[in-house]
A and B are shown apart, each in its own frame.
Chain A
Amino acid sequence: MTLSRSMRTCLHSGRLALLAILVSSGIVLQILACALYNNWWPMLTVIMYLLLPMPLMFFLGSNSPSMMSNEGDGWVNFTKFLTGASVVGSIAIPSILKHAGVIGWGALTMELSSFVVFGIAILWLIQMNGEDEYSSVF
């Protein structure tokens, strides 16, 4: 079933809006995890969140082989390495804080759920970007 052009742009902007809502709820969860307990240690995870989308920012806009392809520059592989490390880091930092007794269970669950929300948002962004390449011909 082919959608008319205006319908498709409407859907597209709807998806973008939903994506923005996801990202902002992730940020809200992260800040709540600190503010509700008046303990600002979990903000350390923000460093990991900054590292996480870096490969996407570098390679999503450019013309070089995309992340989903097999050809790898040394640099593409290295940025994937960084992504993997920062994914583990954003799970690890809250867990270490909990293990050391600096934060409680509530803050831990909020941190982890913020991570899950960000992960869903990034995966959806990648999928949307991949779709664009196919539908741009029409």
Chain B
Amino acid sequence: MENLALLWGIVGPGVSGAVFGAGWWFWVDAVVCSAVQVSFLHYLPGILASLAALMFNAVNKDEIGYDYYSPYGDDSEWRVKLWLFVAYVVSFVCLAGSVGLLVQDALTDKGPSVWTGVAGVLQCVLVLISGLIYWTCHSED
């Protein structure tokens, strides 16, 4: 088990980069192969998901734990929690938004194709997973 943790610390960031890249490249493929112009609204879930992944990687993991010596906690603890909360809200909103756009694309024929919607959902999911992977591996040290 110990070896696995060490190995993860070494390749983790690389895997996370690969997943992040895969997410965005699926989106690029959908935009390039789309027959219609993809509006900016469809770009939003991906951009916001990347922002959310950045946000919850920016916190220092040590600041979240409880401070045993003072029962009322540090003054700065609520700020970290607020930041994380906003990051989670943004990521769930993008997930919901991308699924909603997929359903909308599947229902009408005039807008972007189904592949655009599917790629949007894939992009959102993969970017968020990449953020999670990066978070797990940079706290190994």
Contacts and interface: CB of A to CB of B under 8 A. Distances in A.
B20 to A, nearest CB: 6
B14 A81 contact: yes
Chain B interface secondary structure, helix, strand, loop or mixed? helix
Contacts, number: 79
Contact of A88 (B21, B29, B134): B21
B18 interface: yes
A81 to B, nearest CB: 4
B17 A100 contact: no
Contacts of A88: 17-18, 21-22, 25
Nearest to A96: B29
Interface string B22-41: 10010011001100000000
Interface string A73-103: 0101110111111111100110110011000
Interface of B: 6, 9-22, 25, 28-29, 32-33, 134, 137-138, 140-141
